[in-house]
Chains A and B, each alone.
Chain A
Amino acid sequence: MGQEPKGKSDSVANIQSPPPKPTTSPPLSKKESESPPFEKEYISKIVSQFGEDKIRVAYIRPLRTKITVDSSYIIEIATFIRDNLGFDHAESVTGTDYPKDNQIEVIYQLGSYSKEDIAAHVLSLATRTNRDDARLPTLTNVFKSAEYHERETFEMLGVYFEGHPRNDRFLLPEDWADLPPLRKDFRIRGR
């Protein structure tokens, strides 16, 4: 339904200007190379504050940026981002297991409600920890909104957040005694 026979009405326009080729959107790697100016500006603020050796810029895409930092100064950097750049809440906290590197990456997706010019932006603040003894300092005191997300990350990936009010069961059953389920070595039975 809704289909009309082709070439019926808009043939005149077609002669004057040939229809543009359907542009396939560029792959991710190409987008990264462009680095939009506004995003670059606030990332460079962080880099200039803490030095290039502490901040590794993973990507700068339109509206999305990601920096990877060492866990020992993540609190200072998060506080700087909150106070100076205006990212005021954590939208989500995601842990990803990388058994090949023997590491777990924890990402804080930070957004802003109070500053209109960065309302569409999401700054991902990532850090990595050793898989065997996964411990990270909590960002609950910087972003209160991260509290339940961190608690979920604790039980799903076994990352202990030092200083978190409750590293405790949340979504899983109280008697859960298996591996943290979102680690890659936890397999769903039969698959």
Chain B
Amino acid sequence: MAKNVEHQFDESEKLGLQIVRESEDERLMTLSVGPQHPGSGHFRFIVTVDGDYIVHCDPDPGYVHRGEEKMCEYRNFIQNIPHLERPVIHDSANITYSYSLAVEELVGIEVPRRGQFIRALASELDRQIYTLYWLAIYGIFLGHSTMFMWPTGDRELFIDLMDALTGARVTHAFNIPGGVRNDIPYGFKDKCLRHIAYFEKRLKEYEDIFYNNPLFSQRTEGVGILSKEDAIRLGVTGSVLRASGVPYDIRRAEPYDVYNEIDFKVQYMKSGDSFARAYVPLLDMKESCNIMRQILDKMPDSGEVRAKLQPTPKGPPGEVYRRVESGRGALGYYIVSDGTPKPYRVKISVGSFRNMIALPHLLVGSKLGDMPSVYWSLNYWPVEADR
């Protein structure tokens, strides 16, 4: 190994590992959080506690690993769509979006303009659906059952819209290589605007009952602070990154499809604590309403929504890497093609997997009681991380 490389392990991690090694001391206790824990999802992390303080944390994902990347190698580019949206069914428009972009670049397809707008709209709707679901779970994590009920109910607004648009409540297989599966139905635009207007009112109520609630702020403010430098070094993404003061959003950094025509602000906060990580998604949802209005406004009234594809499209040998901003941050597909209709290798780089590294970083040294508010604020979706 080269000599000039500096070791960048944290002091706290070193400390944690050391204490575990000397664990003859009876003070230390190792707990397994999950996978049966109602809040952890299909995910386990093993924490070692000294009294009330966590001294070591070891994430153990893989309970819902399905081998999506291996499955991709056995199916052609079109057959891959339905199973690729399984890792995150609430945000399936986004997880197929970057796949579509990658396949289009590989095969060389130009998407019709109306199709670009519709799939941007679908991805924004799914971002709302996902974020509301995440917020509902965050509410129940902190014992706030109203905050579980309200977003779960309001999520139906957008699920209804996606249902009208695609014919399915979740896992729509709507964003496909070449555009979208079908055009928008009659009256969809008005319905969409109505729901957005209602939802924006609700967002204010969320702030009143949840974010301005002293119980919530006491459990999250100043808890699990991720500094800007650490956020960059650990390579976290999405709302976790933006909560630490890095205004980075793929929609702005590398605009895809129609996002360079849309005027929006990248929402971010500087405090980097659990509160910021919970509040940035709310700001994102507000901004997303704004984006959806612009998409509906600028969308051409008629035109093709999908480019014609061969039954089994194939590209020249080569590789592509495309990414979009999903509900959990950057979502990238790296596809290697050997010139056949089936991909040679597909790598899904998901936000949840990238944010997982922040969990031991934040938990070591904090109290066990802070664990729920830190864990779920990381916008971590176990199924997506396992793929």
Chain A residues in contact with chain B, CB under 8 A?
1-4, 22-29, 63-64, 66, 73, 75-76, 79, 88-92, 94, 96-97, 107, 109, 111, 113-114, 119-120, 122, 124, 137, 141-149, 152, 156, 162-163, 165, 169-173, 181-182, 186, 188, 191
Known A-B contacts A79-B5, A91-B330, A147-B357; the reply to A2 vs B316 at CB < 8 A is no
Q: Which of B59-67, B169-177, B207-215, B271-279 is near enough to bind chain A? A: B59-67
Interface string of B162-205 (1 = CB under 8 A from A): 00000000000000000000011110000000000000000000
Q: How far is the CB of A121 from chain B (nearest CB, A)?
A: 8
In the bound complex, CA of A4 to CA of B1 (Å) = 66
Stretch at the interface among B81-89, B231-239, B290-298, B372-380: B231-239
For the complex of A and B, the 6 pairs showing the least CB-CB separation, nearest first, are: A145-B235, A89-B235, A92-B349, A120-B254, A171-B62, A119-B253
**Which of these, A63, A97, A113, A173, contacts B241 with CB under 8 Å?**
A113
A66, A96, A144, A181: which contacts B67 (Cβ < 8 A)?
A181
| Cβ–Cβ < 8 Å partners of B186 in chain A | 1
Question: In the complex, what's the smallest C-beta–C-beta distance from A180 to chain B, in angstroms?
Answer: 11
| B71-94 vs A, Cβ < 8 Å mask (1 yes, 0 no) | 100100000000000000000000
- Chain A residues with CB under 8 A of B386: 171
10 extra A-B contacts, CB within 8 A, seeds A119-B248, A119-B253, A120-B254? A3-B302, A25-B109, A73-B2, A91-B235, A141-B1, A145-B234, A145-B357, A165-B9, A169-B62, A172-B65
Decide: A2 and B235 in contact? CB cutoff 8 A. Answer: no
In the complex, what residues of A have CB within 8 A of residue B130's CB?
none
B residues near A, CB below 8 A?
Answer: 1-2, 4-9, 61-62, 65, 67, 69-71, 74, 104-106, 108-110, 114, 183-186, 231-235, 241, 246, 248, 253-254, 301-303, 305, 315-316, 318-321, 323, 330, 332, 334, 336, 344-345, 347, 349, 353-354, 356-357, 386-387
Tell me whether B62 and A88 are in contact (CB under 8 A).
no
Find out whether the CB atom of B70 lies under 8 angstroms from the CB atom of A28: no
Q: Return chain B residues, CB-CB under 8 Å to A169.
A: 62
Cβ of A3 to closest chain B Cβ, rounded Å: 5
Distance of A92 Cα from B387 Cα, bound (Å):
14
